[in-house]
A and B are shown apart, each in its own frame.
Chain A
Amino acid sequence: MKRLLILGAGTSGTMMANHLKHELDQEEWEIVIIDECDTHYYQPGYLFLPFDLYAPEDIQKPIRDFIPRGVNFMHEKLDKILPAEQRVISANGDSFHYDLLIIATGTKPAPDETTGMLGKEWKKSVFDFYTYDGALDLRNKLREWEGGKLVVHITEMPIKCPVAPLEFAFLADSYFKHKGIRDKVDITFVTPMSGAFTKPKATAALNHLLTEKHINIIPDFAIERIDNDNKTIVDYGGSSVPFDLLVTVPTNKGDALIERSGLGDELNYVPTNKGTLQSKDYPNIFVLGDASNLPASKAGSVAHFEAEILTENIKRYIAGEPLKADFDGHANCFVETGNGKALLLDFNYSHEPVEGEFPIPGIGPLRLLKESRMNHMGKMAFRWIYWNMLLKGTHIPFVSAAMSESGKHYDK
């Protein structure tokens, strides 16, 4: 009996377990998935929790509910991957042999990477919302906050869900309006990028929305430290931005397991072939989702598209056939813009987000790069799709892994 081992039962790992369950011969292959957690969090919900739009119970379910029958789920903390021996060692010393390994250990905020971030203001006036605890603490803070300078901040790229900080700023605008204290809140968006987003057309559209919502933007800001005494963030060039409430996205890093195993780059991401999803160093290791160093967004939609491609490549690998470099970097992201509206981005490695209709060219019903209520309903419906279709590896109608260029208004 051969063993396929999946590390991480988050979005990526769970999808792979569901795909491969149907594809691998059960007489020949045992599938084992390991995670240190018992709870599966709907991470897009971390954006809504601080604003009381979702309740804690909306965004968590037991991991086991999503692991298909016949796949063995192990609740273990891992110590090391030993690729030369094809083994993984757990924290309590158990050893798991593998024939094929899928790394899906994701990415995590690392606030300790920035001087002063974990200082005396942490969880008092400095918050993050990229963890469940962080989002919940921030919700409690926002419930009682009476206004002042709100700074929404990205520490450095890449981060998981690169549009979430902008969405946070948009939703904050809407939240304080509804509370009747928008005039008491000054919102500033501080980013290390040159604009609201990295791709030109989306940046133009998003910059416009920032202006419309009276959100200041400070681009090209590379944070050196947080000054807890003066409540400012200070950049390497010496400029500083004062805050009363700082909502920061800390540096994101791959799991410490990757570092302990010597498999990562300087941010603990595993060097991975961007088309085939095979590790660059070990042919029997594949990497999925946020754990890889792919030049694609770290987002659930990307992992979803990758999972379809990776399933085919794993079948090819087992059959001894050449892998196909089919992954095109496809990402599909709803961007909440507040007041019950959202816009939608659909892009890949080579094509930036543009205007158009999605998923059916010329019809929609969703509009690309334009605000609409339908897009917002799409985002709200997505939680149901996530729990009921995405994790189970069900194909989402009209939305293919390879990005479609039709229905998109590219410059000629």
Chain B
Amino acid sequence: MEKIISGKNIAVNEEGYLTDFSQWNKEIGEALAKEANITLTPRHWEVLAYLQESHKNEIPLSIRKVGKSGVVDIKEFYELFPQGPLKTATKIAGIPKPVSCI
């Protein structure tokens, strides 16, 4: 399915996660953050860049992994992206929602 984000037709899944990362850019990220009531600061962008880099390198993401990344600790991750930080941050970053491994 498609959704208009920041004036463009973007391919998303039923939960609103981008299905084609090549369609992502910073404006899209800003628009998705706004939907989640988050105003992106430079700190947010550092975390988003880390998540995108991990995804590119096929590293499975978990809260623990992010907390141990040295980029951000779990406490701050929650402050930046309240309520389900990994789900919210991956959506804004334009990468798939991390699957729980069971």
Contact = CB atoms under 8 A, between A and B. Distances in A.
Interface in B46-63: 60, 62-63
Contacts of A222: 63, 74, 78
B75 A236 contact: yes
A87 B101 CA distance: 31
B102 interface: yes
B101 A266 contact: no
Contact of B63 (A156, A194, A297): A156
Interface string B71-84: 00011011000111
Interface string A338-364: 000000000000000000000000000
Given A197-B102, A296-B101, 6 more contacts: A157-B102, A158-B101, A224-B74, A236-B74, A266-B68, A295-B99
Contacts of A220: 83-84
Interface of A: 156-158, 162, 192-194, 197-198, 220, 222, 224, 236-237, 266-267, 294-298
A240 to B, nearest CB: 14
Given A194-B84, A220-B84, A266-B68, A236 B78 contact: yes
B65 interface: yes
A224 B75 contact: yes
B8 interface: no
Contact of B64 (A156, A197, A198): A156
A265 B101 CA distance: 14
B15 to A, nearest CB: 10
Nearest to B78: A236
B78 to A, nearest CB: 4
Contacts of A193: 100
20 contacts: A157-B62, A157-B102, A158-B100, A158-B102, A194-B84, A198-B102, A220-B83, A220-B84, A222-B63, A224-B74, A236-B75, A236-B77, A236-B78, A266-B65, A267-B64, A295-B60, A295-B99, A295-B101, A296-B101, A298-B102
B102 A162 contact: yes
State the majority secondary structure of interface residues on B. loop
Interface of B: 60, 62-65, 68, 74-75, 77-78, 82-84, 87, 99-102
Contact of B102 (A236, A267, A297): A297
Nearest to B68: A266
Nearest to A333: B102
Nearest to A298: B102
A332 B7 CA distance: 46
Given A156-B63, A266-B64, A266-B68, A237 B99 contact: no
A224 B74 CA distance: 9
Contacts of A297: 102
A158 B82 CA distance: 22
A197 B62 CA distance: 17
A143 B99 CA distance: 39
B85 to A, nearest CB: 8
Contacts of B101: 157-158, 294-296
A37 to B, nearest CB: 26
A191 B84 CA distance: 12
Nearest to A269: B101
A81 to B, nearest CB: 23
Which 4 A-B pairs give the minimum distances between C-beta atoms? A236-B78, A198-B100, A295-B101, A162-B102
Contacts of A298: 102
A315 B63 CA distance: 39
A157 B100 contact: yes
A47 B77 CA distance: 35
A9 B26 CA distance: 52
A21 B58 CA distance: 38
A346 B74 CA distance: 34
A320 to B, nearest CB: 30
A224 B67 CA distance: 12
A193 B86 CA distance: 11
Nearest to B100: A198
Contact of B78 (A162, A237, A294): A237
Nearest to A331: B102
Nearest to A192: B63
Contacts of B99: 198, 295
Contacts of A266: 64-65, 68
A171 B64 CA distance: 30
Nearest to A162: B102
A311 B26 CA distance: 50
Contacts of A237: 78, 82-83
